[in-house]
Structure formats: structure tokens, C-alpha cells
Amino acid sequence: MRIARFSVDDEPKYGVVETDDPEGLVGTVNVLDSDPLYRSAQFTGEKLQLADVRLLAPVIPRSKVVCVGRNYAAHAAELGNDVPQQPMIFLKPNTSVIGPRDGIVYPEQTNDLHFEGELAIVIGRICRDLPKERVNEVIFGYTVANDVTARDLQKSDGQWARAKGYDTFCPLGPWISTEFDASDVRVSTELNGEPKQDGRTSQFIFDIPEVLAYITSFTTLLPGDVVLTGTPAGVGPMLPGDEVSVSVEGLGTLTNKVIVRD
């Protein structure tokens, strides 16, 4: 199922999307009575046109966004870094999360803002010290992410909290797919319609079972937590007015525009 979080007015709702459009601009959404991530949800019987709703970030992590750095060898190489010997983990605050078509704010403190298209995992159950063979038991589903990064601040600060953590630096969407084989799918990014990134999840240095086992060896993952799995080679700068689209094969496309704060 494709589970979306959306609004018609000001109140977020949840529904199951039916569409052939990877961005969800055309199709329908069957409304649910609650968030299925946290309780058993039932259809209300209401069906809406996707053109009449606003898709929101499919999940707002109540706890954290956990990210894997340099999980593609080619991406590590393009930035002059060695391939890590174990997963390189960092965090984004949940206040960095935005949804499809929301604006990525270009901070005045940076002169080098980059896109990083990624596959994201949405956690469905509390887990700690998770064995690799049981990871599927805790995954609620998958979505598309953009790990927006202020590259100059990443270099100058010596740690990544500010460079990765500004408000709007974690677009997610357009929905969560709960029935999805993420073992070998294409992850690609376009900037203003021009291809920039193109990789496959089969190229991960550390696959999803390894990543989740490693993360839960030191911290507890909670329902609604999001794990970003790493970005392929081809990252690069974006400027105000640019439109960036991240696609995961068979899942969907997440599009956002870069803006300046009013």
C-alpha cells in the first residue's frame, strides 16, 4: 500500500493512494480514520482526488532521523573521502522534515547548498540490538528523501549537525510504500529536469540489514523514526529558484523547490 499524509484544509489526514503518477498529482486517495503507523486504521469510505489535496511529509518522526553517510563508494570518492569501515551515522532533527512541493530554504550562512537523493526507511516497531535476519519485522515501509547539505558548513564545522540540520533540510515523500523490495532499485536525482545522480541500492556499502543492526546496537529506534540510507555519486549545488526531484524506482518522486526566506 501507498500510505499518504495529506491535508484538504488545515488538519492532516491519512489515506491509501491509488495512482500511476510517481508524484501523486493525479489519482485518488482513500481516506483512513487514523495514522496506520500507530494503530489499526479503517477506511472511512471517503475518496478524494489527489488534485484536490496537499500531500504532506508522510511521517513526522517523533524521535529522530538517522542517516548513513558515504554508503556508496563512488560518492565517498567524489568528495575525496575513504570508504568507511563501518556505517557512518549522523542525525537530523525532526524539525528539518518537510513534504512534497514544500520549499527548501537556502540559509544565508551557506554559499554551497547541495542535494543528496536517498531511499528512506520508516520504522514501525520499537527495536534495539536488532539481528540482521529480523529487520523486516520492524520496517513499516519506505519513502523518498533528500538529505540537503550545506557543504561548506560541513567542511568548516568539523561535524555535521548544522550543515545537515537546518529547518527544511529533510524533504520526505510523496508517501510510504509498505510493500516494497528495496534490495536493488534505482535512486536518481534531477535538477531542473537535468539528470544528476543515478545509482542503485544494490551498490550500498552497507545493506539495509547491516545498517539497522548497527544503528540499534547503540540506540533504540522508535515507531516513526526515519533512516536515510545514503546517496549515490553526483551530488551538487542548487540555488534559489532551482527545482530538485529525487526518484526511487517503483516507489515515487519527491520534488521540491529551493527558496529564500521572506
Q: Is the pLDDT of residue 125 over 90?
A: yes
Residue 76 shares a structural domain with residue 39: no
Question: Per the domain annotation, does 168 fall within a domain?
Answer: yes
Is there a single domain that holds both residue 147 and residue 86?
Answer: yes
Q: 3-state DSSP call for residue 128? A: coil
pLDDT bin (cut points 50, 70, 90) of residue 10 is confident
**Same domain as 46, residue 107:** no
Segments forming the whole domain that contains residue 239: 65-259
- Residue 9 pLDDT grade (very low, low, confident, very high; cuts 50, 70, 90): confident
Position 172 in a domain: yes
Question: 73 and 46, same structural domain?
Answer: no
The verdict on 83 and 136 lying in the same domain is yes
pLDDT band at 99 (very low <50, low <70, confident <90, very high): very high
Do residue 38 and residue 124 come from a single domain? no
- Joined together, the cell numbers standing for residue 240 give 534559489
Does 107 lie in the same domain as 38?
no
CATH code of the domain covering residue 40: 2.30.30.370
> Quick one: 85 and 195 in the same domain?
yes
Number of domains in the chain: 2
Prior bond of 100 cis (ω within 30°) = no
Instruction: Give mean pLDDT, residues 224-242.
Output: 97
Q: 16 near 2, Cβ under 8 Å?
A: yes
Look at residue 62 in the predicted model and tell me its pLDDT. 86
Residues 167, 108 share a domain: yes
Residues above pLDDT 70, as percent of the chain: 100
Q: Are residues 215 and 126 in the same domain?
A: yes
Stretch 99-117: mean pLDDT, rounded?
Answer: 98
Q: Tell whether 27 is covered by a domain.
A: yes
The pLDDT of residue 41 is: 95
Cα separation, 58 vs 48, in Å, equals 17
